[in-house]
Amino acid sequence: MDFGDTPAEAAFRAEARAFLDAHMPLKEAHRAHVSRAMTPEDVAASKAWQRKKAEHGFAGILWPTAYGGRDGTQMQHIIFAQEEERYAVPTTVFNQGVGMAMPTVMAFGTPEQLARYPRPALFGDEVWCQLFSEPAAGSDLAGLRTRAVRDGDDWVVNGQKIWTSYAHFADFGMLVVRTDPSVAKHAGLTFFIVDMKTPGIEIRPIRQISGASNFSEVFFTDVRLPDRQRLGAVGEGWKVALTMLANERFTVGRAEGPDFDEIFALAKAVRIDGRRAVDDSAVRERLAAWYVRTAGLKYARLRSQTALSRGKAPGPENSIGKLVSASKLQDIATFGIDLAGTAGAITDPEIAAMHGLFQQALLYAPSKRIAGGTDEVLRNIIAERVLGLPADARADKGLAFNQIPTGAR
């Protein structure tokens, strides 16, 4: 065993560092992760950084050179992410476009689509969003109800999407809709690329439990889409959506926020009955459990990186990272507030311990257990695709979509 880079990996890491050093300052330690809506300035900064990376060959490391990518390896992709994490780079708005949408366009796009979309996405000119979830279709995504009806050379779309990140500044969306409700639910879907400025699209921000707005609802009222905006065949929308979701595995990482180091620092700073909280055996029990989990995840990640560096494709076992870290984040936030005693309720970053890190985390942690596959969906994936247990019984099996029982809406 050996944690070092191969000579080729070390050379790439040095190249990445040289580029980052030349363009970005290093991050400050222990900065609170502030959960707030992106401003136009944030978006502009993200676009500028994306362009800079693209110009230097660090934006599309896994992309083919034909579209401006590097045609690099999974390990190079990981190494760049590891290095970039150390710098104070702008929060990106390109994960969905570059990491998920464009690989899907490359898999299913027409020559015209391939000529039009990938390059501007890579160079930071165009932002993409994902129009998948609906109020009645989350974990059961294939139960979506937004309709598209053919009308001459166009399709007319009516319905509603939800949980769309970046909707109000996205240029394009990846849209999956129902084109045939009379067949089984997975068979009646079709996929489209939609210009977000098309008339009939209305975007309304969702206010989250923290009060911030990072997601929107997107309403479609008689939105006309030309058939040339279709991605993949009519009725093959599920296949296209699955391709996009498979790429999500690369972009949804572990839940960011206070982890062992932060709760350990707090436990050393706080005093209980005159002695450090870290010397209390009940506190130690919690700390030890989180250390073991955090270390376990780290080494599990190194094991899967080893597999990747040997050319193995990322598998469903990667579901572990989000499943474990999201709950851990919520538990650490909860305990951090407890450790602070009565002051734990204070959210004012000027007064609260560690600038309100734990209080903020408490209010965004719930989303980490839901977005990108709920805890429950991830457990199903592990059970079925890793352990080989049989699929759950389904009440909608073999039924046409319009015959599937629904609750009162």
Catalytic residue among 217, 248, 317, 384: 248
List, in order, residues 6 or more apart from 385 with CB less than 8 Å away: 315, 316
User: Judged by CB under 8 A, which of 1, 22, 29, 395 binds other proteins?
Assistant: 1
Options 133, 229, 247, 309; binder of other proteins; rule CB under 8 A: 309
Burial zone of 394 (CB within 10 Å; 0-12 exposed, 13-18 middle, 19+ buried): exposed
The whole-angstrom separation of Cα 173 and Cα 131 is 6
In three-state secondary structure terms, 178 is strand
**Binding segment toward other proteins, per CB under 8 A, in 48-56, 65-73, 185-193, 388-396:** 388-396
Other Cβ atoms less than 10 A from the Cβ of 125: the count is 13
Phi–psi pair at 287, nearest 5 degrees: -60, -45
10 interacts with other proteins by CB under 8 A:
no
- Examine the residue annotation and report whether 217 is marked as an active-site residue of this protein: no
Contact call for residue 317 and other proteins (CB under 8 A): yes
Residue closer to other proteins (CB basis): 22 or 391 = 391
C-alpha–C-alpha distance, residues 118 and 275, integer Å: 58
Q: Which of 109, 105, 11, 99 is nearest to 50 (CA)?
A: 99
The per-residue DSSP string of 129-151 comes to EEE--BTTBSSSGGG---EEEEE
Minimum distance of other proteins from residue 263's CB (angstroms): 12
Q: Candidates 40, 211, 390, 398: give the one binding other proteins (CB under 8 A).
A: 390
> 10-23 as b/e, with b when 16 or more CB fall inside 10 Å?
eebbebbbebbeee
Residue 155's DSSP bridge partners are: 150, 225
41 binds other proteins (CB under 8 A): no
Under a CB-based contact definition with an 8 Å cutoff, are residues 100 and 129 in contact? no
31 touches other proteins (CB under 8 A):
no
User: For residues 244 and 320, which CB has a smaller minimum distance to other proteins in the complex?
Assistant: 320
Quickly tell me which residue has 């030309």 as its tokens.
226
| Per CB under 8 A, 11 contacts other proteins | no
Smallest separation, CB 377 to other proteins (Å): 10
> Among residues 14, 115, 233, 288, which is the contact residue for other proteins, using CB under 8 A?
288
Nearer to other proteins, 175 or 323 (CB): 323
Residue length of the chain: 409
What minimum distance in Å lies between the beta carbon of 246 and other proteins?
20
Q: Is 29 in the site for other proteins (CB under 8 A)?
A: no
- The β-bridge relationship of strands 172-178 and 128-131 is parallel
Q: How far is the CB of 134 from other proteins (least distance, A)?
A: 23
Interacting positions 72-101 with other proteins (CB under 8 A) = 75
CB of 369 to other proteins, least distance (A): 14
Does 395 sit near other proteins (CB under 8 A)?
Answer: no
Binding site for other proteins (CB under 8 A): 1-6, 9, 75, 264, 268, 278, 281, 284-285, 287-289, 291-293, 295-300, 302-303, 305-307, 309, 317, 320, 323-324, 376, 378-380, 382-384, 386-393
Active-site residue numbers? 248
